[in-house]
Structure 1
Amino acid sequence: MKNFLNPILSVLSGLLLAFAWPTNGFVGLLFIAFIPLFIAHYRLNKTAVKAVKWKVFLHAYLTFFIWNIITTGWLYYSSAFGMWFAVLVNSLLMALVFLVYHLVSKKVSSFTSSSFFIAIWLSFEYLHLHWDFSWPWLQLGNGFSESVSWIQWYEFTGVFGGSLWVLVVNTLLYNAWLQYSSRKENSVSTKGITIRYGIPALLIIALPISLSHFLSINSITNDVEGTEVVILQPNIDPYSEKYDISNSQMAENLMTLAVDSITANTKLIIAPETTLASGMRLTGINGNPALNRIKRFLFDYPNTYYLGGVSLGDSFKNKDKATSQTNYIKNGDFYYNDYNSAVFMNSTNPVELYHKSKLVVGVENFPYKNVLQPILGDVMLDLGGTVATKTTQEDREVFITRDSLKVAPIICYESVYGEYVTGYVNNGAQFLSIITNDGWWQNTQGHKQHLSLARLRAIETRKWIARSANTGISAVINDYGKIITVLGYEKKGALKGTIYPNNKITFYVKHGDFIARVSVFLMLGIFLFSFTRRGVMKRK
C-alpha cells in the first residue's frame, strides 16, 4: 500500500482542484488542494533513492493533468487535437513549476521554500497572461467566480489576490502537517501546533470573507439614472448555420429580434461577436449593405446606438504593408489582414471600429510566428472559430455616444484578462460590454465558466456589464458581480436590462497586477539566493 500512497495523494490533489472549480464545484476545497501533493513530495524526498526529480515531476504531472482534463476537457467539442494540446502542455508547464520548487526546496528552509512556491506559482500565472501561449483559464483566483460574496476585495487585488489567498493557506496548513509529522516521528509533544497554525489559517480564510461582506454593504445602487440596453442572442449554430447566412440576412434577423424590446429610451443594442460573419472589406465599411440596414432601423430611434461583432478583411499586394500578423496567400500572391472587430454606430454617424487584441492561441494568433512558422508552416490549432492570424490594435478603444455614455467593447477571450480590461476603464469606460460566441463547446462547462469569469471583471473594475453571447448565456451583471438578469443557453431572443454607468476608478484599475509583479522579483531573488549561497541555509 505504501508504494501506491504517493500516486494516490497526487490523484487526490488533482481531484480537489477539479472539484473546487466553477461552476459546479465547492471553492473551499482550493484551500487544501495542494496539501496531498506537498505530502507526496515530502515522502518522495524522504524515501526515494534514485531519480527523485523525475518522480516528483511525474507525480506533479498526474495532479495537474487531472485538474486540467476535468475542468477544461470541454475544449474537445471544438477540437480534439486542440483540447489535448492545451491539457497536456498546460499540465506540463504546471509540473515544471513544481519541479523547480522541488529543486529550490532542497537548498532552503521550509519557510523559504513555501515562500518560493507561492512566488513561482504567481509568476507562472503572470507569464500565462502575457506570452504568446497565453492560457490563464485555470488561474487559481478564478476559482472564486461563483462565490463573489467572498471576494469583493478583488477591487484592490484583482484575481491574483485570490491566488495568493489559496497558496498561503495551503502552504501554512502543509507546514502544520510537517511540524506535526516531525514531532510525532521524534516522539515530541504535538501540543500547540493546532493553535500555532490552525488559528492563523482560519483567520486568513475568515478575514477576507468578512471584509468582502463589509464591502457588499454598499452594493445598493445609488440614485444614478439607469441606462436601458437591449442585448441580442440570435442562437446561430457557429459551425454551419452562421456561415450560411448572408450579412444582410443576419442584419435583418438581428433587427427582428430587437424590435419587440427596443423603446425610445434604449441607449444601446448589443449583438454578439462576429455576428456578421461573411468578411466585409475594411475599406468599404461605411457603405456596407448589412450595416446600412441596421442604420435604417435606427432612424426611428435617434438616441440608440448599435454595438456588435463583425469579421473584417483588408487585402493588398504590397509586401511593405505586411506585419507579423499579416496572412499570405501563395496561390493568389497577395497579403491580407484579418480582423475580429466590434462596430459602433447610430443612424447618422460613420461606423467606429475596435479590433480584438487579446487573441485565442492557435485560432487567432500564431505563437512566436517568426520562429515557428519556418519550422511548422501555416499550421493553426482549430479551437473554434475562424482559423487565421488576426490583426490587433494597440489601444483599448472606448466608444462614446452623443450624450457622453462611454462603453468598453470587450470581445470574447479578452474578458478573461483582468489587467487588460482595466485598460478600457483607464481610457474612460463607464460600463463594460462583452460580445462573445460561446457555442463552440456545446452545452458544457465552457460557456458557463466564461460567463462566470465576467463576474470577476465587474468586481475588479466596479463596472456594470452587459454581455451578449451567441449560443451562450447573455446577461446583465452589476458592479458587485451579481447576475441581475439572464437569457439562458440555446435561447433565441432579446434581453432588455438596465445598467448603471459610473466613473469609479478602483485601486486595481490604477495599479493592475502588482501582486504578480512583486512575486516575480521575490521568485527570482529566492532562486538566485538558493543556488549562490551554498551551505548557508539548511533544511529544517
Structure 2
Amino acid sequence: MKKNFFLSILSGLLLGISWPTFGITFFIFFSIVPLLIVLKNIGQKKSKFNWLKVLSLSFLTFVIWNLITTWWIVNSSFFGFIFAISVNSFLYSLLILIYFETRKFLPKFGSFILFVSLWISFEKFHTIWDFSWPWLNLGNVFSEKISWIQWYEYTGSFGGTLWVLVINIFIYLLIDSKYKSRKIIVLKVLRIFILFISPVIFSFFISMNQKKKEKSRNFILIQPNIDPYKEKYNLTNMDNLRLIEKMTTGNLGESTHYLITPETFFSEENGEDIDQISTSILTDSINKFIDKNESMNILSGIQLYKFIYNKDSINNNSIKLNKSVWVNFYNSAILYNSKKNYQVYHKSKFVPGVEILPYKSFFKPLIGNFMLNLGGTVHGRTPQKNRSLFVSSIGDKFASIICYESIYGSFVRKFSLNGAEFFTIISNDAWWGETEGHKQLLSYSKLRAIENRKSIARVANTGISGFIDSNGNIYSKMEYNTKGILKNNLQLNNNITFYVKYGDYISRISNLMLLILLTIVLSKVVKKNI
C-alpha cells in the first residue's frame, strides 16, 4: 500500500511539473506510468475494496496535478478553489475507476485501446457539459513547445492527448515486460523514441513549408492595466473612452486599421441597454472619435443588457425582475467604424459558476445565485448560439474570441469555417493576479493559431497582450501589470485547415471505439451472470 501511495504521488507530481508555463514538458510522456503500475498492483490482489483503493489513490494523483497547475484559483475564491480542484480530480478518478473495473474483460491490447478511448472521450465531454473545464486536457501541455506540434492543424489538441497517452502506455509496457534479451529491450526503446521523434520531425517540415501571407493590417492594442477589484467598476464608460483618447494621442494615423480594447472595457454599472445603444452617449462619443480617424475600426469589450417583456422570449439565463419584466445580461464585443453601423458578438462559453450557473433549472431552487465566485459577476450571462463574424469598414472578416472561449479548439474553429481571416482575443485575466493563470491562457491561444492557421491580436486588461502569428509564435507583447499600447501588423488569410474542416474527429473515433469496447464488456458481464 505504501508503494502504491508514493507511486500515486509521483504520477501527480510528474503531471503537474510538466505543465506550461513553468514546467518541463518532456515529463508528460511518462507521467501516467506510475498510476498504471498502481492499477496493476491493486489488480493482482483480490479484494472487495479494490475499487475504493483505485478511487482514492487516483484521486490523490489528480488532486496533486490540479493543485500544482491551477492553485491560482484561490486568489479569487477559496470556495471556488476547493470546488474546482475536488470536482475535477474526482471526475478524473472516476475515469480511472471505470477503466480498472472494465479492463479485466478485455485482452491486454484491447484494454489499452479502452484506456485511450475513455480518456479522450472524457476530455471531449469536459468541453461540452455545463461544468466544462478543459484547462487540463493533455493536448494543452504542448502550448510552450509549438515547434513540436505544428501538426495540430490536422489533429487539433486531441492529437496531442493521443500522443501523450500512447507513449505512456508503451513506456509502461516496457517497464512491465519480462524481456531478458538486451536486443529486444533496445528495439522496444527504439520504438518509443520513434513514437516521440516522428511527430516532432513532421512538425518541423510543416513549419518549413508555411507560405508567407501577403495581406496585412496595422493594429493598436490598448492595455489599460485597471485593477478589477478596486478601480474597474468605479470608472464610467466615458472615463474609459477618454483613457483611449489619451493613450493613443500621437499614435493614430491613416495606416491604423484597428484599435482594440480588453474584455468588459466598457462596463459601467449594469452596462449599456442593447436596444438603445445606437443612440447612447457612448456610441455618439465613439463615432466622433472615429470621425477624426476614418480608416480605423474600434473593437471593444462591453457589458450589455436587454429588457424582455414577453415571457415567450426568455431563456434559461434570463433574470426575472418582476411579474412581467426579465433581463438578459451579455458579456460582449462591439465594433464601431466609419460606417456607423455597430456590430455585436456575445460571449458564448462561460466560466461555470462565475458567468453562468450550471444546470440552472436544477441548482437555482436549491442554492439561488450562490455558486462559485471566481472574481466574476453575480448575474448569469446569455450566450449567442452562432459563431458570427465582424466585418470591418475595409471588408475584413474576423472573430472576436472572448477570454475563456479561447481554450475551446472545436468552438474556435467554427469562426474559421464561417470565413474569419484573423482572430482577436479580448480578455481580463487580472482576477487571478500575477500567477500562471494568465500565462497559461495566453499560451493556449497559440494552439488556436496553429489549429486554424490564423494570426491573433490578443488584448488583456492587465496583460499579457500581444501578437501571435499563424505558427503560434508570439512576435510582440506587453508584459503583465503594464499600462500602454502595442502597435504592430497582423497577417490575414482565409485558409481552411484539415482540423477546421473535420473538427475533433479523433474524439469521435474514440467515442465509437469506447462504445464498441463497452458493448463487448457488457456482453461478457451478462454471459458471466447467466
TM-score, scaled relative to structure 2:
0.96
CA distance in 2, matches of 1:441, 1:195: 47
Alpha-carbon separation, structure 2, partners of 1:220 and 1:497: 20
2:226 to 216, 223, 236: 236
More divergent stretch after superposition (296-305 vs 130-139): 296-305
Asked if residue 294 in structure 1 is aligned to residue 286 in structure 2, the reply is: yes
Deviations 1:230-265 (A, max 9, x none): 111011011221000001111111222223332211
Corresponding residue of 2:490: 499
Q: What letter is aligned with 1:309?
A: G
CA distance in 1 between partners of 2:521 and 2:337 (Å): 61
Q: How does 1:322-333 map to 2 (within 5 A)?
A: 322-329=314-321
1:441 CA drift (Å): 0.2
Which residue in the other structure is 2:378 paired with? 387
Paired residue type of 1:491: T
Measured in 1, the distance between the counterparts of 2:275 and 2:245 equals: 25
* 1:361-376 aligned within 5 A: 361-376=352-367
1:34-433 alignment to 2 at 5 Å? Answer: 34-47=32-45, 49-180=47-178, 189-219=180-210, 221-222=212-213, 224-278=214-268, 279-329=271-321, 334-433=325-424
* Cα deviation digits, residues 158-194 of structure 1 (max 9, x gap): 00000000001011111222223xx6xxxxx354442
Aligned-residue offset at 1:44: 1.2
Q: Which amino acid aligns with 1:245?
A: L
- SS of match in other structure, 1:336: strand
Give the letter aligned to residue 324 of structure 1: N
- Per the alignment, in what secondary structure is the counterpart of residue 357 of structure 1? coil
Q: Look up the equivalent residue of 2:410 and give its one-letter code.
A: E
CA drift of 1:402 comes to 2.8
- For 2:25, the equivalent position in structure 1 comes to 27
Contact 1:14–1:33 (Cα < 8 Å) also in 2: yes
Provide Cα deviations, 1:122-172, integer angstroms capped at 9, x if missing partner: 000000111111000000000000000000000000000000000010111
* 3-state SS of paired residue (1:152): coil
Unaligned runs of 5+ in 2: none
Distance across 1 between alignment mates of 2:184 and 2:321:
67
Mark the CA change 1:49 to 1:321 in structure 2 (over 3 Å): closer, same or farther. Answer: closer
Matches of 1:428 and 1:316 in 2, distance apart? 32
Q: Tell me, yes or no, if the aligned pair for 1:341 and 1:353 is still in contact at 8 Å.
A: yes
Paired AA for residue 167 in structure 2 = V
Change (3 A) 1:380 1:315: farther
- Quote the offset at 1:464 in angstroms: 0.3
1:264-292 per-position Cα deviation (integer Å, ceiling 9, x unaligned)? 11111111000001111111111222232
1:261–1:494: 8 Å Cα contact kept in structure 2? no
What is the deviation of 1:28?
Answer: 0.8
Q: Is the 8 A contact 1:397 1:409 kept in 2?
A: no
CA distance in 1, matches of 2:378, 2:244: 25
Q: Over residues 492-521 of structure 1, what are the superposed CA-to-partner deviations in whole Å (9 max), with x where a residue is unaligned? A: 011001100001100000011110011011
2-structure distance, mates of 1:376, 1:272:
32
Aligned partners of 2:324, 2:233: CA distance in 1, in Å?
25
Aligned to 1:454: 445
Query: How much has 1:333 moved relative to structure 2?
Result: 6.7
Q: Deviations over 1:71-109 (max 9, x none)?
A: 011011111111111110000000000000001112212
Which region of structure 1 is more displaced relative to structure 2, 38-47 or 471-480? Answer: 38-47
CA–CA distance in 2 between the matches of 1:81 and 1:260? 46
Aligned pair in 2 of structure 1 residues 201, 535: CA closer, same or farther (>3 Å)?
farther
Letter in 1 for 2:263: E
Q: What is the identity percentage for the equivalent residue pairs of Structure 1 and Structure 2?
A: 41
Instruction: Give the whole-Å Cα distance in 2 for the aligned partners of 1:191 and 1:114.
Output: 25
Question: Is the 2:297–2:393 Cα contact (8 Å) retained in structure 1?
Answer: no
Q: TM-score, normalised by structure 1?
A: 0.95
Residue of structure 2 aligned with 1:441, choices 413, 432, 438: 432
Moved more, 210-219 or 46-55: 46-55
Cα pair 2:305 2:329 within 8 Å, conserved: yes
Q: Could you say which residue in structure 1 is the equivalent of 2:15?
A: 17
Helix, strand or coil at the partner of 2:383: coil
Match of 1:186 in 2: none
2:114–2:513 CA contact under 8 A, matched in 1: yes
Question: Matched residues in 1 for 2:373 and 2:141: separation?
Answer: 26
CA shift in 2, pair 1:337/1:535, >3 Å:
closer
Shift of 1:319: 2.7
Deviation at 1:434, TM superposition (A): 0.2
TM-superposed CA distance for 1:300, in Å, is 1.8
Q: Name the amino acid aligned to 1:105.
A: R
**What secondary structure is seen at the aligned counterpart in 1 of 2:257?**
strand
Question: 1:15·1:67 contact (CA, 8 Å) conserved in 2?
Answer: yes
Once residues 338 and 100 of structure 1 are traced to their aligned partners in structure 2, the CA distance between those partners, rounded to angstroms, is: 40
Aligned equivalents of 2:371, 2:240: Cα separation in 1: 28
**292-301 or 432-441, larger mean C-alpha shift:** 292-301
Looking at structure 1, the residues matched to 187 and 100 of structure 2 have their Cα atoms a distance apart, in angstroms, of: 26
Tell me by how many angstroms 1:462 deviates.
0.3
Q: Counterpart of 2:53 in structure 1: which amino acid?
A: K
1:10-37: CA deviation from partner (whole Å, max 9, x where unpaired):
0000000000000011111110000001
Secondary structure of the residue aligned to 1:283 is: coil
- The answer to whether the Cα contact below 8 Å between 1:296 and 1:347 also exists between their aligned partners in 2 is no
Alpha carbons of structure 1 residues 196 and 534: separation in structure 2 relative to 1, 3 Å? farther
Q: Which amino acid aligns with 2:156?
A: G
Question: Does the aligned pair in 2 maintain the 1:252–1:293 contact within 8 Å?
Answer: no
Query: Does the residue aligned with 1:354 lie in a helix, a strand or coil?
Result: strand
Q: Which amino acid aligns with 1:89?
A: V
Q: Assess if the C-alpha contact under 8 Å between 1:251 and 1:291 holds in 2.
A: no
Kindly provide the CA deviation profile for residues 331-368 of structure 1, in whole angstroms up to 9, marking residues without a partner as x: x8731100000000113422110011111111111111
Counterparts of 1:535 and 1:247 in 2: how far apart (Å)? Answer: 65
| 1:178-225, Cα deviation, whole Å (9 max, x unpaired) | 223xx6xxxxx3544424432221111100000011111134634x13
Structure 1 segments unaligned to the other structure (5+ residues): 184-188
Please say if residues 295 and 348 of structure 1, whose CA atoms lie closer than 8 Å, have aligned partners that are also in contact.
Answer: no
Q: Is the 8 A contact 1:255 1:294 kept in 2?
A: no
* SS of structure 2 residue aligned to 1:471: coil
Separation in 1, partners of 2:527, 2:498 = 40
